[in-house]
Amino acid sequence: DSGVTQTPKHLITATGQRVTLRCSPRSGDLSVYWYQQSLDQGLQFLIQYYNGEERAKGNILERFSAQQFPDLHSELNLSSLELGDSALYFCASSSGQSREQYFGPGTRLTVT
């Protein structure tokens, strides 16, 4: 158990809908990372937050947004969902930049 929790574990929704994925980092970790893993793209870095502030942005679509709250949990919002958004979404946390990351179990999103 990495200490990082993600909810929900599975999510099935329809095209055009909006969903929110939640991540609670390990106790004391200030950095939260979001990653997408689809079958054809492999792991892709989406975005990183550090202590509530956006630190780095990767291949995150404009339809996606994220935030980190004062209690350090983070949410990833996906809107106007398309079939191609079906993927595993992982959250990871670390104590700081270029520190070891601890991954959550992932949320499997299926868009039908």
Partner 1 sequence: KNEVEQSPQNLTAQEGEFITINCSYSVGISALHWLQQHPGGGIVSLFMLSSGKKKHGRLIATINIQEKHSSLHITASHPRDSAVYICAVSASGTYKYIFGTGTRLKVLA
Kindly list the residues in this chain that would bind partner 1 in the complex (CB under 8 A).
2, 33, 35, 42-45, 48, 55-58, 88, 90, 92, 97-103, 105-106, 108
Shortest reach from residue 16's CB to partner 1, in Å: 27
CB nearer partner 1, residue 2 or residue 15 = 2
Nearest approach in angstroms of CB 1 to partner 1 is 10
The residue (of 79 and 105) whose beta carbon lies closer to partner 1 is 105
Closest to partner 1 by CB, 22 vs 79, is 22
CA-to-CA separations, 84 to 8, 36, 39, 58, in angstroms, rounded: 19, 11, 10, 18
- Closest CB 14 distance from partner 1, rounded Å: 23
Q: For partner 1, give the closer residue by CB, 62 or 100.
A: 100
Contact between 112 and 15 under an 8 Å Cβ cutoff? The reply is yes
Contacts of 71 (CB under 8 A, 6+ apart): none
Q: 86 is written with which tokens?
A: 């079906």
Contact 13, 19 (CB under 8 A): yes
Distance CA 12, CA 19 (A): 10
